[in-house]
Structure 1
Amino acid sequence: MADLEWLRGQWDKYAPRYDRSIGVLERLQFGDGREWVCAQASGDVLDVAVGTGLNLAWYPAGVRVTGLDLSPAMLRLARERAGDLGLTVTLQEGDAQSLPFADASFDTVVCTLGLCGFPDERAAIAEMHRVLRPDGRLLLLDHIGSHHRAIRWGQRLLEHFTVRTLGDYQTRRPLPHVQATGFEITRAERGKLGTVERLAARKR
């Protein structure tokens, strides 16, 4: 399991290149995934692993966004993006596996392309459940392990590199953990040969 200080350092170094690196994948693999997620957000919103703030442009007017990330360098870029967009958001450093918020603090929790990179994704999902208000909504977008054997084999090969460099897993699948935590799945979409999943769930 990755050490958080090591992980923070790796993402700090990667931050200046992140938007450029993710650009091609955004278009080819994830498509309108950020829009799909953010359009469903309402009320007090927690964006876990907010990164450079790529979600900020897609939230509906009137939501109150708090963004959390492990990397100070990523958060600096998110602050710049929020300023460029004329948005007032709260951005703070923190660990998704131990969220620095009280129980039942948010109406919506969003996590896009983040659960693949947490050392313990089950702990992070449990924390998301904890900070949601009753009937609150969880909205996720992530790359996952394909159900096609050949593709999954390729993902496992790639994973040997991405875990060592960024703690980024290619073959996880959040849905079973979301269900096990006690969420009710309200919508699940899987595409791109089984490598991408969009989830909407509600805290029961």
Structure 2
Amino acid sequence: MGESARAVEARRIWDRVAPTYDRRMAFLERHMFGDGRVWLAGRARGRVLDVGVGTGGNLAHYPDDVTVTGLDLSPAMLALVRRRAADLGRTVDLHEGDAERLPFADGSFDTVVCALALCTVPDPAAAIAEARRVLVPGGRLLLLDHVVSTWPPIHWFQWVFERFTIPAAGEHFTRRQVPLVRAAGFTIVATRRTRAGTVECVDAVRPADPGTPGR
């Protein structure tokens, strides 16, 4: 199956913003998302797939004993991950690909991490279903993203902001991933919501399939 036009356009956008991404995100990383990446990466175990790895912002926070595979649509982003991994002395297996169509076999990973990426995936339910597919039974799905606020005035502002961000970069602010995670068959272990509900971390487990022996 050929690549979708949406994926081609997304690659063009992220290749363009890659050189300035970390600088532009620095304030938000520090003051909005805070220790979200630490919360997320610290829960990773075993074979880790980092979906939408971006510039590699999670790499410094993973435990030393995990193996990391990174996936992103953007070759320019992946080039920055390689540089960051080298600076950290960390080995990362990098792949160019789409979160909605992961190029990995069923049950390939113990943990799937997705930080600040589902907000731009056209079909987040498909991406979560793919994460479930590549996880072993008992594997963890770990998410961090900006989501729809619990405070109506901010929710309204997010909706207005989307009128510009969705056409420009496919970025959504009024989504929430927890219902999609539950619908995909995961069991929610823990969630954390901050900044008037606009930032949410999710830790979920893929249950064993019926009739599957325990790990």
TM-score, with length taken from structure 2 = 0.93
Deviations 1:161-200 (A, max 9, x none): 2112211101110000000000000001111001010100
Alignment match, 1:39: 42
Q: Which runs of 4+ in 1 moved over 2 A?
A: none
Aligned residue pairs: how many?
A: 204
C-alpha deviation, 1:4, in angstroms: 1.1
Aligned mates of 1:70, 1:57 — CA distance in 2 = 21
Q: Distance in 2 between matches of 1:27 and 1:38?
A: 16
Matched, 1:122 2:125: yes
- RMSD in angstroms over aligned alpha carbons? 1.1
1:161 aligns with 2:175: no
SS for the counterpart of 2:57 is coil
1:108 paired with 2:119, answer: no
Task: Write the deviation string for residues 115-143 of structure 1: whole angstroms up to 9, x where unpaired.
Answer: 10101000000000000001000111000
Deviation by residue 1:141-160 (Cα, 9 ceiling, x = unmatched)? 00000121110110011111
Matched with 1:151 is: 154
Query: Which residue, out of 170, 173, 186, partners 2:173?
Result: 170
Residue in structure 2 matching 1:196, options 186, 199, 205: 199
Residue in structure 2 matching 1:179, options 177, 182, 207: 182
Asked whether the 8 Å contact 1:43–1:108 carries over to 2, the reply is yes
Identity over aligned pairs, percent: 57
Separation (CA, whole Å) in 1 of partners of 2:11 and 2:184: 27
Distance 2:17 2:40 in 1: 24
SS of 1:92's equivalent? strand
Unaligned 5+ segments in structure 1 are: none
- The SS at the match of 2:183 is helix
Which consecutive unaligned segments of at least 5 residues does structure 2 have?
208-215
Matched residue SS, 2:119: helix
Cα distance in 2 for residues equivalent to 1:56 and 1:128 = 19
1:83 corresponds to which residue?
86
Q: Deviations over 1:59-90 (max 9, x none)?
A: 00010000000011000000010011111110
The range that moved more, 1-10 or 49-58, is 1-10
Contact 1:152 1:171 in 2 (8 A): yes
AA of the residue aligned to 1:133: V
Instruction: Calculate the TM-score normalised by the size of structure 1.
Output: 0.98
Counterpart of 2:25 in structure 1: which amino acid?
A: I
Report what 2:18 is aligned to: 15
Name the structure 2 match of 1:3: 6
- Give the structure with the higher percent helix: 1
**DSSP 3-state at the match of 1:79:** helix
The answer to whether the 8 A contact 1:2-1:167 is kept is no
